[in-house]
Amino acid sequence: MTLVAEIDTVEENKNIVAQYRRLLRHAKPVLKDGDNAIIRKAFNLAMEAHKGMRRKSGEPYILHPIAVAQIAVEEIGLGTTSIIASLLHDVVEDTELEIEDIRKEFGPKVAKIIDGLTKISGVFDKTMSQQAENFRKMLLTLSDDVRVILIKLADRLHNMRTLDSMARDKQLKIASETIYLYAPLAHRLGLYAIKSELEDLYLKYTEPISYRSIAVKLSQTKIARNKFIRDFISPLESELHKQKVSFVIKGRPKSIFSIWNKMQQSNVDFEHIYDLFAIRIIIDTEQDNEKAVCWQVYSIVTDYYKPNPDRLRDWISTPRSNGYESLHSTVMSKTGQWVEVQIRSARMDEIAEKGYAAHWKYKENTDKTSKEERGLELWINKVRDLLQRNDLSAIDFVDEFKSNLFTEEVFVFTPKGDLKVLPAGSTALDFAFEIHTHIGAHCLGAKVNQKLVPLSYVLNNGDQIEIITSSKQKPSEDWLKFVVTTKSKTKIKDWLKEEKKRIADDGKEIVLRKLKNLKIEMNQEVMSKFLHYYNEKYAQDFYYKIAKEVIDSKGLRNALEQIQGVEARKDLLGDLKNKEIKLTTDSSKNDMLLIGEDLAKIDYTLSKCCNPIPGDDVFGFVTVSEGIKIHRTICPNAAELMAQYGYRIVKAKWTDGHELAFLATLKVKGSDRVGMLNNITRVISNELKVNIRSLTIETEDGIFDGTIQLFVHDTKQLDKLIKKLHMVPGVMGVTRYYN
C-alpha cells in the first residue's frame, strides 16, 4: 500500500511540474528579465502553503491556482503580476499566510490584488448575503486594479469547469451565482468567450438534459453545417482574394446557452432555430485603414447575399462602452437561411475575445484607441461612484451593479452634435442628468428632434435632445419610476433625502405615541421586527410610510402579534442546517417531498412562479414569513435566490407518494386545419386519461397558438404527453410553460 501511495505522489508531482511548465510556455511572450524567478518564488510559496490540501475531486489543490494563472495568461492575456496573484490567490484565505506576508515578498500591487480576491471571514448577520458582501469587497479594488476582477473571473471559470466533483446543491448554488453575476460581468468587460463558456456550464448543471440534447444535435448536424459554411464562404473568399484583402474566415456555432435561450424565448424546438452559427471575417490591415476595409468587405458580402436592413449593427463607428468593435449584418443565403456575418480587424477580434485586458496592448498606439477605451473607463468610473455610496445594503449594491452589466446602449446627440452613450431604455430625464446634475434637477421637459416630449420619453438611437429647465421645478418621487441610469437615481434620491427625513421625523413621533399607548418600549429589536414585517430595509422608510399613511399606524399592534409566528419560522432554517429537524406533515397533505440535509418530511408550499410537479429538479427556500417554498432549479427566480440568499436554500427531493394531481401548462403551436383541436384533446383525454382544466386556441394566418392547463401526476406523464402531442400532424412545437 505504501508503494502505491508513493507512486501516486510521484505521478502527481510530475503532473504539477508539467502544468507549471505549460504555464511558463504560454507566458513567455509577456515575461521580462527576472520575471521567471519571481514566478517560481510564488509557485514554491503556493506549493508549500497548499501542501497536503486536496480539492473535492481528490487532486492536489495546487493544480487549481496553476489553472487560474493559465486562464489569466492564455485566455485573458494578463501578465506577470497577474500570474503571481493567480498562483497565490487562495493562500491568505485557506492557509496561515497573511496579506502582510505577501506584501513583504511580492510588493503592494500583488498584495492589493490578493486582498481583493480574499473572501470576508467572520460572523455574518443572517439577514445579510455573504455572497453579496464578498462581491462588493472584490469590486472595491476596482478603483485601484481591474486585474482583481479578471483573475476572479478566471478563478470562477476553472471552478465551473471542475464542478462535477461537487455535491448537487453546491453545483446549483455556484452555477446560480455564475449566471447572476459573473457571466454578466464577463460580458461587460468584453470577455465574450469566457462569458459564453460560463453560460454553457451554468446550463450543463442546472438543465443537464437540455444541455446534452442541444450538444448532441449540434454534433449530429456538424457535417451538414460545415458543408453549408464552405458553400457560403466560397464566393466571398474568391472575391476577397481578387481584391487583395488579407483575411481569415471562421464559422462557429452559437453557444449552447444562446440556442437554449432562443428556444425558450421563441417557444420553439431545436429544429426551428435557424441561426445556429455565425460567420466571422477577420481582416489583417493597418489600424488607420480598419474602418474602410471593413466596409469594403461588407460591400463584397452584400454583393453576393441580400442583407436584412433591420439587422445591421455598426459598432466600428460607435464602439460599445466595453470597447467592443465589429460590423454585424444578417444576410440571406442561397438556400433561404439567415446567416449572421461579423466583420472586424485582427485588433478588434483580440479585444472582442480578451476584452479589457487587450486594451493595454493597444492603448498607446493611437488617439483613436484612447477614445474607444473611454467607454469602458466611464463604466468603471460609474462603478466607483456606486461603491462610494454608503446608503446601499450589499444586496442593493449587487442589484444596482448588475443592472449596469447586461444593458445595451443607445447613442444620442446634444443640440451641438456631441455624442452621448446611455443605457438602452434611458429617458430624456436621464439625458438631462448626464449633461449636469443641476440641469437634471430642474428639468421641465425636452425637445427631441425639435418636438416637445415629456421627461419620461424613452430615447432612440440618433435622437438629438434639447433640455428645457425651470428654476421652480424640483425632483419628485415619481421620477424614480422612469429613470434608469445610476447617476439619475442617485441624484434624485439625494434631492429627496432631506424632504423625506423631515416627513420621517413626523412618522417617528406617530409610532412612538402609538407604542406608548400600547405600553411597548421602542428599541432595536422591536424596530427590526417592524422592518421584517413590513418588508422595509430602513427605519426611515418605515417612519416615512407611517407619516404618509401608506402603513396604517392602527395596525402596529396586529403586526407585533403576527411577528411571534414569524420568529418560529426563522428558527426552522437553523434546524434544517443543523440536521436536527424531526418534523412531519399533516397526513391530509401531500407528503411526496423530503426536505433538508436529513431529507425529512415537513410543511411546504409549491411556488406559483414555476409550478413544480413530482419529477422536477427542485430546492427549498426558507422565507421569512411564509415557511418553505419549493422552486424548480430552473425557476426564473432561482438564480437570484441562490446567488443572494444561499444560506436560506435547503435540499428537497421527491419520493414515491400518492397519486396526486398537479397543475401544469403547455404551449402548443402548429398549422391550423379542420379537426386539429379534436386531435389534440383526444390524445390528452382519451389516450392518456389526463384531465384538462382549460384550453385556449388563437389562430392567425393559418398558424395556431394554444395554451393548455391540465392535471398530471409527475414529469414522466407530462413528458409522455408532450411526445404524443408532437406526433399529431401539423403540431410544430410543444413546450412546458412555467409562469
Question: For the purposes of burial, counting CB atoms within 10 Å of the CB of 295, is it exposed (0-12), middle (13-18) or buried (19 or more)?
Answer: middle
Domain boundary among 312, 342, 367: 367
Judged against a pLDDT cut of 50, whether residue 75 lies above it is answered with yes
The DSSP-derived string for 352-385 is: HHHTHHHHHHHTTT-HHHHHHHHHHHHHHHHHHH
Residue for grid cell 391540465: 710
Q: How far is CA 235 from CA 223, 232, 240, 253, 295, in A?
A: 20, 7, 9, 21, 17
Nearest to 69 by CA among 94, 49, 42: 42
- What the block records as the C-alpha cell of 356 is 479589457
Of the chain, the end-to-end C-alpha distance in Å amounts to 57
Q: How far is CA 642 from CA 69, 131, 152, 186, 256, in A?
A: 28, 10, 19, 20, 22
Among the ranges given (77-81, 275-279, 517-521, 573-577), the one the predictor scored with the smallest mean pLDDT: 573-577
More confident residue, 144 or 78: 78
- What the block records as the C-alpha cell of 292 is 474602410
Among the ranges given (123-127, 250-254, 537-541, 695-699), the one the predictor scored with the smallest mean pLDDT: 123-127
- What the block records as the C-alpha cell of 256 is 449552447
pLDDT band at 37 (very low <50, low <70, confident <90, very high): very high
pLDDT band at 394 (very low <50, low <70, confident <90, very high): low
Q: How many domains does the chain have?
A: 5
The mean per-residue pLDDT over the stretch 292-310 comes to 92
582 in the same domain as 684: no
Neighbouring C-alpha atoms within 13 Å toward the C-beta of 612 = 25
Judged against a pLDDT cut of 50, whether residue 614 lies above it is answered with yes
Judged against a pLDDT cut of 60, whether residue 119 lies above it is answered with no
The mean per-residue pLDDT over the stretch 564-590 comes to 44
CA 703 – CA 671 distance, rounded (Å): 5
Among the ranges given (17-21, 398-402, 597-601), the one the predictor scored with the smallest mean pLDDT: 597-601
578 in the same domain as 641: yes
More confident residue, 589 or 376: 376
pLDDT of residue 126: 41
pLDDT band at 580 (very low <50, low <70, confident <90, very high): very low
127 in the same domain as 20: yes
pLDDT of residue 595: 58
Handedness of CA 658, 660, 664, 668 (dihedral sign): positive
Buried residues in 535-553 as b, exposed as e (16+ CB within 10 A):
ebeebbbbbbbbbeeebee
Judged against a pLDDT cut of 80, whether residue 677 lies above it is answered with yes
> Domain with 136 in it: what CATH number?
1.10.3210.10
* Cβ atoms of residues 102 and 49 within 8 Å: no
Assess if residue 398 is contained within a domain: no
Domain boundary among 602, 632, 654: 654
171 in the same domain as 24: yes
Judged against a pLDDT cut of 60, whether residue 443 lies above it is answered with yes
Judged against a pLDDT cut of 70, whether residue 587 lies above it is answered with no
CA 563 – CA 265 distance, rounded (Å): 41
> Domain with 703 in it: what CATH number?
3.30.70.260
73 DSSP assignment: I
698 in the same domain as 626: no
Assess if residue 269 is contained within a domain: yes
Assess if residue 559 is contained within a domain: no
Taking CA 387 as the corner, what is the angle to CA 533 and CA 95, rounded to the nearest 5 degrees? 90
Q: How far is CA 167 from CA 170, 505, 616, in A?
A: 5, 50, 18
pLDDT of residue 140: 62
* Cβ atoms of residues 115 and 109 within 8 Å: no
677 in the same domain as 590: no
CA 144 – CA 25 distance, rounded (Å): 29
CA 384 – CA 490 distance, rounded (Å): 13
pLDDT of residue 385: 61
The DSSP-derived string for 288-345 is: GGHHHHHHHHHHHHHHHSEE-GGG-EETTTS--TT----EEEEEE-TTS-EEEEEEEE
pLDDT of residue 585: 33
**Average pLDDT in the chain:** 80
Neighbouring C-alpha atoms within 13 Å toward the C-beta of 550 = 12
The residues, ordered by sequence, that sit 6+ positions from 60 with a Cβ below 8 Å of its Cβ are 12, 16, 50, 53, 54
Task: Give the domain extent around 14.
Answer: 2-209
The DSSP-derived string for 499-556 is: HHHHHHHHHHHHHHHHHHHTT----HHHHHHHHHHTT-SSHHHHHHHHHTTSS-GGGH
Query: Where would I find the beta strands (DSSP E) of 49-131?
Result: none
pLDDT of residue 588: 41
User: Strand pairing of 628-632 and 605-606?
Assistant: parallel
> Domain with 301 in it: what CATH number?
3.30.460.10
Judged against a pLDDT cut of 80, whether residue 690 lies above it is answered with no
The mean per-residue pLDDT over the stretch 68-93 comes to 90
Q: What are phi and psi of 713, to 5 degrees?
A: -85, -35
Assess if residue 381 is contained within a domain: no
- Which amino acid, 477? E
CA 269 – CA 732 distance, rounded (Å): 8
Assess if residue 374 is contained within a domain: no
Nearest to 473 by CA among 436, 445, 498: 445
User: Strand pairing of 327-332 and 338-345?
Assistant: antiparallel
CB atoms within 10 A of CB 16: 17
pLDDT of residue 643: 77
Helix (H) or strand (E) holding 201: helix 192-206
Kindly state the percentage of the chain with pLDDT values over 70. Answer: 80
pLDDT of residue 130: 58
pLDDT of residue 405: 57
pLDDT of residue 201: 95
Per-residue pLDDT tens digits for 644-666 = 777 778 777 776 655 566 778 88
Q: What are phi and psi of 549, to 5 degrees?
A: 65, 20
673 in the same domain as 634: no
CB atoms within 10 A of CB 709: 16
pLDDT band at 395 (very low <50, low <70, confident <90, very high): low
CB atoms within 10 A of CB 134: 17
Per-residue pLDDT tens digits for 410-421 = 878 888 877 787
pTM of the model: 0.64
Which residues are designated catalytic?
A: 93-94
Give the 3-state DSSP-derived string for 487-503, with helices as H, strands as E and coil as C.
Answer: HHHHHHHHHHHHHHHHH
Q: How far is CA 581 from CA 574, 578, 601, 655, 657, in A?
A: 9, 8, 9, 18, 21
Among the ranges given (122-136, 629-643, 725-739), the one the predictor scored with the smallest mean pLDDT: 122-136
Per-residue pLDDT tens digits for 155-183 = 999 999 999 988 888 888 888 888 887 88
Assess if residue 528 is contained within a domain: yes
Nearest to 601 by CA among 625, 621, 583: 583
342 in the same domain as 224: yes
Nearest to 698 by CA among 676, 724, 720, 715: 676
Residue for grid cell 469590486: 139
Per-residue pLDDT tens digits for 314-345 = 888 888 766 788 999 989 888 888 888 999 99
The mean per-residue pLDDT over the stretch 4-25 comes to 80
Assess if residue 280 is contained within a domain: yes
* Cβ atoms of residues 355 and 192 within 8 Å: yes
Q: How far is CA 55 from CA 40, 52, 62, 172, 360, in A?
A: 22, 10, 9, 18, 34
Judged against a pLDDT cut of 70, whether residue 566 lies above it is answered with no
pLDDT band at 640 (very low <50, low <70, confident <90, very high): confident
> Domain with 537 in it: what CATH number?
3.10.20.30
Judged against a pLDDT cut of 80, whether residue 681 lies above it is answered with yes
pLDDT of residue 660: 63
89 in the same domain as 34: yes
More confident residue, 423 or 345: 345
Assess if residue 433 is contained within a domain: yes
- What the block records as the C-alpha cell of 81 is 503580476
CB atoms within 10 A of CB 275: 14
Per-residue pLDDT tens digits for 179-219 = 887 888 888 777 888 999 999 999 999 999 999 999 998 88
CA 492 – CA 489 distance, rounded (Å): 5
What is the SS3 assignment for 714?
coil
Per-residue pLDDT tens digits for 448-500 = 988 899 999 999 887 889 999 888 888 888 898 889 887 888 888 888 887 78
More confident residue, 358 or 9: 9
pLDDT of residue 367: 45
40 in the same domain as 137: yes
pLDDT of residue 368: 45
666 in the same domain as 636: no
Domain boundary among 189, 209, 229: 209
More confident residue, 400 or 670: 670
219 in the same domain as 201: no
Among the ranges given (168-172, 440-444, 569-573), the one the predictor scored with the smallest mean pLDDT: 569-573
- What the block records as the C-alpha cell of 300 is 463584397
Judged against a pLDDT cut of 50, whether residue 305 lies above it is answered with yes
CA 206 – CA 638 distance, rounded (Å): 10
Judged against a pLDDT cut of 50, whether residue 237 lies above it is answered with yes
CA 272 – CA 267 distance, rounded (Å): 10
* Cβ atoms of residues 684 and 692 within 8 Å: yes
